[in-house]
Structure formats: C-alpha cells, structure tokens
Amino acid sequence: MNMKKFIALFFILAFLLFACLLVSGCMLGINKNTQKEIEELKSEIEELKAKDEKEQEEDFDLTDVVNSISDSIYFIETSEGLGTGFVTTSDSFASYIVTANHVIENSDENNITVKTYGGTQYNVSVYSKNTEYDLALLKLDYGNIEPIPWAVENDHYPNVGDDVAVIGNPLGFSGTVTKGIVSFINNIVIQTDAALNPGNSGGPIINNHGEALGIVVLKAMLDDESFAEGISFGIRMEILCNELLNCGENIKSPNYIAKSIKQNDDSNDKETPYTPVGAEQKFTRAIYNLLGEYSLAVNHMNVYHNEGWIYNNPEDVALEMTYLVKLKELANQLRGFSYPESLAGWRNSLVKIADDICIYKEAQINCMKNSDWNGNVQYHGSYNNSHMALFDTYNSMIK
C-alpha cells in the first residue's frame, strides 16, 4: 500500500472512530437527561398526590361524618342535668351507651332518659361506673344499634394538630357540632380546643373519618366559678377496654363493675371501702346483675317463640342461633369478673354451668337443624336444668 492510500485510510478510520465516540457520547447524555427527567416527573407526581390527599382531608364533609354516626349518639336528660352519650357496643338484646359518670352520678338511676337525633326517647339504666376516669355505661334495652367505630381500630392514631369535632347536647341544644383540633394527647386523655359547654359531657370526640377518639369528661376552669376557654379534655377510647368493656378480637362486651354498696345505717350514707368483704359483695352483686341478663334473654325468647321453639322451623332455628350468641357473651362476661379467693370455688362452678348452658343449647340447635326430635328434647332438658342450676348455685353462694 502506498503512502497516500495509507494516509487516506487512516483519516477515514479516525473520522469513523470520532463519529462513533460522538454518537455514543450523545446517547449517554440523552440517557442521563431522560433518567433525570423521569425522576423529576416521579417527584412531581408524588407531590401532587400528597397535595390532593391533603386537600381531600381538609375538604372532608363534616355533614356526611355526622350523618354517618347520628343514629349512635344519644342526648341524656336526668333529674340533675344534661349530657351526651354514644353507643359503644350492641347485641340483639341491648345496646350500651358510654357517657361521663358525672352526668348521671347524682341522679335517680331509674329516671334517666336518652333522646335520639329524631327526638325519640328511651329509658335507660346505669349498668356500670368507673369514678376514677369519670366514665359510666348505660344500658338501653334495644338491640342491634351500630356503634361508633373507634379510630385506633382502623389504625387512625391521633396526633397534635389533627382536626376533630365534638357532637353533644350543650345547654339542651341537641345535635350541636363544634370543631377544633387535638391540642395535646397522651395514653389517657386527649385535649381539644373545640367549643364545649354543659351538656357536652359524655359526647364523642371524633376525627374526620367519623371515628371516636375519646369521651368528653372535663372542661378546664380558671377558678371555682369560671371555665377556661379552649381547654377541654376527653378520656381516650382505649381506657374503656381496661375499665368497662371486655375487649377481644372484633368483639366488645360490657364488663359489669358493681356500683359501691352503701351501708344500711341510715345515719351514715357513706360508701363502704373495698375490703375483702367488699370484694365478695362486688362479685355477688355482679352475678346478680348477670342473672338479670339471663332472665331478660329467656323472656325475649319466650315472647317470640311461643310454643314453636321445639320444632324444626328455619325462623326458630335462626332465633335460637341469635340466643346462643347471647349465651356465649354472658358466659364470657362471667369469666371476666374479678372475684376474691374466698369465692373461687363458687365462681368456677358458675363458669362451668354457664359453659354447659352454651354446649347444650348448641347441641339442641344442631338437632333442630337435622330434624332429630329425641335429641332436641334431650338437649333442651339438659339446657333447662343447667339454666336453673345457675340460679340455684347463686342462691347457695349468698347463703
């Protein structure tokens, strides 16, 4: 190859190499720029998404929230004043309304009425109390009322600055809604600056999802006569599970805590301290009230069944299944009662009988489903004997 051809070929190869390097560099630059643009676009999308979620939260329609839980809120009237309460658990036979204890503590416990948003009135009874946290549980003999959901059950934990609303009966203006924020929170209380007045006590503090965060119990005072503005407190819902409810997985049942027994001496109307004897009184009183629950359940069944309970009727079977759920709830409630060591034997006997009642009733229902007449009669007899034994054992215990 002569020199001229070699030089020409060299320049051609050099040019091609330069061109390749130039193209590669451009492509690399394009790839880098494209990747950068993609990352920037992702960041913008996330920012827009967060902004949209925040706007949705801020624009949440409070009217919809209130309407969604209004059937669960009750306005309380007593011989001493006003208050608010809301359903926290319910079954086929009764609903249990939590409120502040100071709303009902000085009133005639047989003369307490609650009123719905629509104005319908019901009489309620005091089921249990906890004076330490200013809580009370009222029993309404009307079942299957949807409770207000709890925020923590849906992993909606409150934070300082969150929007909240309070629904209540301030000064008798039923259904009043005020709005504020969470000002402070710890494991027991939640503080809010929502406007509150006498009659709000016992009402729910709710979040933007219509879920209960706490129960209104206290408005701070400047002195013995003047309330502080914008400083109010509620007891967090979680405290209920430690004090007035038995809480399990997807279940809540009322936990009877006996009201303090007063001395018989008319000259001394003070409450007795919780001595070992007082603990026995507390347990026997709790059993007494539980037996009242059993009686109400049986009467409920008798009213709807008449003589049809023994036959294989789908409606009767369905009613018996509902009754069985109630029996199991009562057995669990009995198992959850605190009791002194001196009554441990009686307590264990009562628990076994309560469990037997459930076993026999479930066996009877299965016989009804399978048209097993003899088994139906047999297990009904066993159930009935156990039911009577529950009352007989209680009577023997108190002797």
The answer to whether 305 is a known catalytic residue is no
Catalytic entry in 72, 201, 253, 386: 201
The answer to whether 265 is a known catalytic residue is no
Catalytic entry in 91, 102, 162, 386: 102
Instruction: Quickly list DSSP for 98-154.
Output: EEEHHHHTTS-TTSEEEE-TT--EEEEEEEEEETTTTEEEEEES---PPPPPBGGGG
Report in angstroms the alpha-carbon separations of 87 from 136, 143, 253, 366. Answer: 12, 11, 12, 33
Contact residues for 121 (Cβ-Cβ < 8 A; gap 6+): 113, 114, 115
| Closest listed residue to residue 213, CA positions, set 249, 239, 246, 195 | 239
| Closest listed residue to residue 213, CA positions, set 164, 280, 278, 141 | 164
- For residues 256 and 65, give the distance between their C-alpha atoms in angstroms, rounded to a whole number: 31
Instruction: Kindly report the length of the chain.
Output: 399
Pairing relation of β-strands 112-115 and 121-130?
antiparallel
Chain centroid offset of residue 325 CA: 19
Catalytic entry in 91, 95, 134, 162: 134
- Sheet strands (E) in the chain: 73-77, 82-90, 95-100, 112-115, 121-130, 135-140, 163-168, 176-185, 189-192, 204-206, 212-221, 227-236, 245-248, 251-254
Contact residues for 41 (Cβ-Cβ < 8 A; gap 6+): none
Residues with active-site annotation:
102, 134, 201
